[in-house]
Structure 1
Amino acid sequence: MPPALLLALTLLISILLLIILVDVIYTRLLRPSSAPPTALVLPVVGGMLSFLGGPLALISKFHASCGECFTLPVLHKRITFLIGPHASPFFFKAPDTALSQKEVYEFNVPTFGKGVVFDVDHVTRAEQFRFFAEALKGNRMRSYVQMMVKEAEEFFGAWGDEGVVDLRDELSRLVVLTASRCLLGKEVRETFQDEVAHLVHELDMGMVPLSVFFPYFPIEPHRRRDAARKELAKIFDGIVEKRRQENREEEDVLNTFVHAKYRDGSQLTNDQVLGMLIAVLFAGQHTSSITSTWTGLLLLESHQKQKKGILEGSGKSATFLEKVLDEQRKVIAEHGDELTFDILQSMDSLHFSIKEALRMHPPLIMLLRYAHAPFDVTTSDGKTYTVPKGDIIATSPAYSHRLDHVFDKADEYKPSRLEPGAAEDAKVPFSFIGFGGGRHGCMGEAFAYLQIKAIWSIALRNFEFELIGDNAPEADLTGMVVGPYASQVRFKRRKLK
């Protein structure tokens, strides 16, 4: 071997050994003895390789070996997982000054834009959240329901008398239409719908796993994302400017952001209005479309299996789908075809069917924070650990919702487990975290439930559905937001009586 090549090889090996040594010292030897146990992985790259195998797989593996609180080294960072309701309360209760979203979600800045949400300090973000809270006040919500119902009636009215559809794709389209009407405004819904829907899809496709670590890396999805963001800015600049000049009132979230004022009297810029809308759209669109789809799939799957005698207790009681249909019949008998805010709120059977679908299949696998100060965690077995400052803190709705010591037969779809009298989710705080919880609970939770109730109320009143095959599709774990694989159902038009 030539001396120069031997020298280069020796230097490379020395650098690698030095990196490994620093990694071991940093992630293990310098960790205080009171810190959570560290997952045993290969130095430097082991944590990243574990992630490539899927977050749920790695959580399952290290939860079994390390317990409810453990730390995974990922490149130069440390991610400490808090699994289950006993380990995670501080995650949900802590203020931004202790556990912050900003540092771990800054990869959203290219998509949302500058000066909003994760590109501002805690105080400014709190004011921006206040703007959104204004958009969800009682009277506004009642007007949104009217829009939701109108969109759903028109959408399902365009279906034929019978056929086969991909439920995931159909409900995703419907949720986009509803979001355009309620959030983005009638200008988008009536004039720019197709163009804006395409550009938002490009933003969506521009958020890939690499984006979390390198949001500006020069890859094609990022290039298309940035181009779409610029085109959206051109469209909304004209819409926002026209609304400012006309100073007219509209019952949509866009209107709230256009006229919102900070405590010092300043307003959002046109581009920041767009950024806020994109943030709200991303927060709600996937949750609503995915949860709508799972609600239908799981109701149909459990109904068909129970009728065929596949499920335990088959034939002994009404299926969950039958309970939902009976509820619709009672509502129709009392209110006719009318669907209002109050009527949708009264639908408990449908509500718990939606919530159970969200328990089993929350769209977000992980929620993240950054620790600005050390804090203590006590697990269900009484062990207490001190999580050091600087760790990224993670909890997983998808994994925690399937813990058998929290939910009885957790892998079984059983909406009755959430009803008063059972309320398995209420026995230990933060057992159900489908909409987050505590200080950062999702403000759009009520909006999402109303939207999904409106969709399924209208669908079930006008169609019979049948799942093709005995089983609902598996969850597609390859995406940043987790939904079902293609989900075909057969429909036949009829009027529920």
Structure 2
Amino acid sequence: MSNYSSFPFVESLTRELWPLDLSNLVILFAINLPIIAIAFTTLAQLIIPQNPNEPPVVFHWLPYLGSAIEYGKDPVNFLKKCREKHGNVFTFILIGRRVTVALGPKGSNFILGGKLSDVSAEEVYTPLTTPVFGQGVVYDCPNHMLMEQKKFVKVGLSLDNLRAYTEMIENEVLRFLETDPCFYYYQTGDVDKWETFHAYRKMVELIILTASLREAVDGAAFAQRYRDLDGGFTPLNMIFPNLPFPSYRKRDIAQKAMSDFYVGIIEKRREEGRLHEDTDMIASLCTQSYKDGRQVTDREVAHMMTALLMAGQHTSSTSGVWALMNIAANPQIAEALYQEQLENFVTEDGTWRTMTFEQVKKIPLMDAAIRETLRRHHPIHSIMRKVISDMPVPPTLAALKDESRTYVVPKGDMLLASPAVAQMDASIWKNPEVWDPYRWLDPSGAAADALVQYDQGGEKVDYGFGQISKGTESVYQPFGAGRHRCIGEQFAYLQLSTILATLVRHLELRMDEVPKHNYQTMVTQPQGNCPVRYRKRLPPKRAA
């Protein structure tokens, strides 16, 4: 150790560590490793210059995790804060991945309107969806096959079928109110007492009942399969699709059981000679063929049915409960919605008229309430794609002062668009934090402009499942935009309108305060128990 005598600090440190055995040194190193890693990550960002040709990277303390904690806790506010500092285009680190964000209408168009040669949704979402939906459908097939499958589903959502679904949905809701134990006071006819129900749980049950076959949802076995599949539809599953956890094993067992269940229904109908007689989605899908002439297989039908159930349930039940709670928390709007029902659906003898598809589409305040719910509580706060070819950022989006250069998002990065940020932008929407359905009835407001851009105007495109409004530059995108725009939005509006209208007809609803958002799930759910109070309404009287 005398060799170190000219370095007193080194000599002192060596003398201190010399008595330590190897195990103590390992422990000491392990204890200090996180501190060293954080220090190295911080210094690297402060010292190493960023590539001027790439979007600015959000500063982070944690190696590998990056900004995952802040983004996961409240993604909308995180993205807003980053926009204030960096503009509409920036990159942040999310569990070892570079995620480039493009906000605003131009940002959404850049990502959601991206070419297949530039961006891929399949590479982002298949680790999550394939183990739940099954193989050969949605993101587990080439994009052109997905577009054909969307066309198959669209056939099942024909006008005639939608008309039939309307009465079926209303009947299911009425049956639910008459049999579910939570609505005991409704069943006994007690119009004076208030009782409470768990709004989210009951909305999930209603969505499943009104989106599935009655033969499919009877029994505890189906409910358990659904819960086990749902347990495999989380952000953790998206990042780590295969882990040795019980929830993953349950997911895989439930997926096979669900697939076998739907195949069993098809085989039974085929044996009985009624496979094409019913007017439901299974009957429709079983008649479809791909462009190359290949018939859709029973297993593909089963997996498409599972996908429709799982994906539709998540977004519809979440949107339904947000609408229900906002209605309950705003008694004046609840009463206005009830009066709208009286004006349109009460007969001369004081009974409720059965709703039809055409009538449901013509109750403006209920339609506005659902649209406002989708604006204020967007079910999918972030939509992602993977860059498969270097993508130059349009100058108008990057807004760089130096017009001679531009940003390039490199191959391998993830892209993120956030409709939720645009739908809560105070520079576009008046009082965006307020749930106000009446903004959609103002022909000169921002909502009307957004609706024209999303639904009624703008570029029309046929990606393989029929002409739709591209909608990628709208500030309102409740069902996504571009080629991956949700094919089931018309059914979702019908389903939510019919469920909510039926509940408003028969129940007075009250809630003290709408819960905050829970962003730890795949869709933006409410926090807490979601208790809504109800009281049975008196028999209707025709509005004067």
How far has the Cα of 1:150 moved from its partner? 1.5
The residue type paired with residue 109 of structure 1 is: T
Q: Distance in 1 between matches of 2:50 and 2:268?
A: 57
Q: Mind listing any 5+ residue stretches in structure 1 that lack a counterpart?
A: 304-318
- Residue 478 of structure 1 corresponds to 520
Does the Cα contact within 8 Å between 1:356 and 1:415 map onto a contact in 2?
yes
Q: Distance in 2 between matches of 1:343 and 1:197?
A: 33
Q: Which has the larger radius of gyration?
A: 2
- Residue 427 of structure 2 corresponds to 405
- Residue 376 of structure 1 corresponds to 393
More deviation in 210-219 or 334-343? 334-343
Does the Cα contact within 8 Å between 1:300 and 1:466 map onto a contact in 2?
yes
Q: 1:392 aligns with which of 414, 434, 442?
A: 414
Q: 1:169 aligns with which of 192, 201, 216?
A: 201
Does the Cα contact within 8 Å between 1:84 and 1:400 map onto a contact in 2?
yes
Matches within 5 A, 1:119-268: 119-158=140-179, 159=183, 160=186, 161=189, 163-181=195-213, 186-189=214-217, 192-245=218-271, 246=273, 247-268=275-296
Q: Distance in 2 between matches of 1:15 and 1:330?
A: 66
Does the Cα contact within 8 Å between 2:65 and 2:96 map onto a contact in 1?
no
Does the Cα contact within 8 Å between 2:479 and 2:485 map onto a contact in 1?
yes
How far has the Cα of 1:278 moved from its partner? 1.5
Q: Distance in 2 between matches of 1:94 and 1:129?
A: 19
The residue type paired with residue 279 of structure 1 is: A
How far has the Cα of 1:10 moved from its partner? 8.5
Q: Distance in 2 between matches of 1:412 and 1:7?
A: 55
Does the Cα contact within 8 Å between 2:345 and 2:355 map onto a contact in 1?
no
Matches within 5 A, 1:333-344: 333=346, 337-344=353-360
Does the Cα contact within 8 Å between 1:320 and 1:353 map onto a contact in 2?
no
- The change in CA–CA distance for 1:326 and 1:18 in structure 2 (over 3 A counts) is closer
How far has the Cα of 1:361 moved from its partner? 0.9
CA RMSD of aligned residues (A): 3.2
Q: Distance in 2 between matches of 1:61 and 1:142?
A: 46
Matches within 5 A, 1:428-439: 429-439=473-483
Q: Distance in 1 between matches of 2:510 and 2:95?
A: 47
Q: Distance in 1 between matches of 2:41 and 2:326?
A: 49
The residue type paired with residue 436 of structure 1 is: G
How far has the Cα of 1:83 moved from its partner? 2.1
Q: 2:340 aligns with which of 327, 340, 343?
A: 327
Is residue 2:84 matched to residue 1:41? no
How far has the Cα of 1:54 moved from its partner? 4.2
1:389-409 CA distance string (max 9 Å, x none): 322111223333211012111
Q: Distance in 2 between matches of 1:25 and 1:139?
A: 62
How many residue pairs match? The answer is 474
1:38-72 CA distance string (max 9 Å, x none): 11113433233444544334323322322221111
Query: What SS class does the counterpart of residue 259 from structure 1 fall into?
Result: coil
- Residue 459 of structure 1 corresponds to 503
How far has the Cα of 1:436 moved from its partner? 0.9
Q: Distance in 2 between matches of 1:128 and 1:24?
A: 50
Q: Distance in 1 between matches of 2:42 and 2:134?
A: 34
- Residue 316 of structure 1 corresponds to none
Q: Distance in 1 between matches of 2:215 and 2:318?
A: 26
Matches within 5 A, 1:72-83: 72-83=92-103
Q: Distance in 2 between matches of 1:7 and 1:173?
A: 54
1:345-392 CA distance string (max 9 Å, x none): 101110011110111112222111112231424567844643333221
Percent of aligned pairs sharing the same letter: 28
Query: What SS class does the counterpart of residue 164 from structure 1 fall into?
Result: strand
